[in-house]
Amino acid sequence: MTVLDKALAAYLGFACGDALGATVEFMSPKQIQKRYGVHSEMIGGGWLALEAGQVTDDTQMSLALGQAIIDHRGWNIRAAADNFVAWLNSNPPDVGNTCRRGIVRYRDNGELYGLPRDDDAGNGACMRNLPVALATLTRPDYFEAWSLEQCRITHHNPLSDAATLTLGRIVQHLINGQDIAVCEQEAELLISRYGEFAYSPYPGKASGYIVDTVQTVLHYFSNTDSFESCLIATVNQGGDADTTGALAGMLAGAKYGVEQIPERWLTRLDQQVAAQIRQQAAELTGLAL
């Protein structure tokens, strides 16, 4: 697989995880089992009453960020923030509270960053960082700087920062063809700095708290052997399943490739979104290579 193939698989895998997981967001594993048995199809519905294959804020914010990078052939923090405002103004189906607070602050006051906050340790900054990872595949210095700037438009918390950088580096390693051991070293480095991210044994929580999100994603990514099994196991944990599904799909896509993403999911995925992803994957990796 080429770098572009893996980058595209990461982005499409991300959107598939978002659309699959949204159906069971905020449900417990027992509730999912009682209602669906094993949830494995893109059927829409859920608390947001989505169409089958419709994505949520995870993919929409990623596309907004990716377009800002493409339009400016590189990094422009105000362009990213402006695109988030345009997205918020489009009446999206779902907006996280911390994301909303940060975007409204910028919209109303022009402030690009808030002060550090303990309650900014959600997953909303981490979930949208894939376009930065793709555009900086060969520039780790740019990757860190751009990632932290886009994070802090809405989330200013050391746990959010560390998780965003770790998952971004892991997907970059996978796209660049690195061995899985290098990815495991990234996870171990995160845990050595912030022990709360330790995921073995898996605590079994999948909330929007960034620690729970990362534990869930890394646990199922490490303990499954295909794209499909990784995504199904992840979203059936419930909780913030659109985001855990998206991030697990990002890593699994980069590892296994587009050929391993089930055709039934790719067919059902919102085709306008899929077309945007194909275009952005090519243009963002083009900036990096």
| Residue 178 pLDDT > 90 | yes
Residue (of 52, 9, 67, 55) closest to 273 by Cα position: 55
Q: What is the pLDDT of residue 1?
A: 87
**What DSSP string describes 233-259?**
HHHTT-SSHHHHHHHHHHHHHHHH-GG
% residues pLDDT > 70 (the chain): 100
How far does the chain reach from its first CA to its final CA, in angstroms? 15
Q: Summarize pLDDT for 93-111 with one digit per residue, the tens.
A: 999 999 999 999 999 999 9
Q: Is 148 helix (H, G, I), strand (E, B) or coil?
A: helix
221-237: pLDDT as tens digits: 999 999 999 999 999 99
Average pLDDT over residues 146-163: 97
**Looking at the whole model, is its pTM more than 0.95?**
yes
56, 93 contact by CB (below 8 A): yes
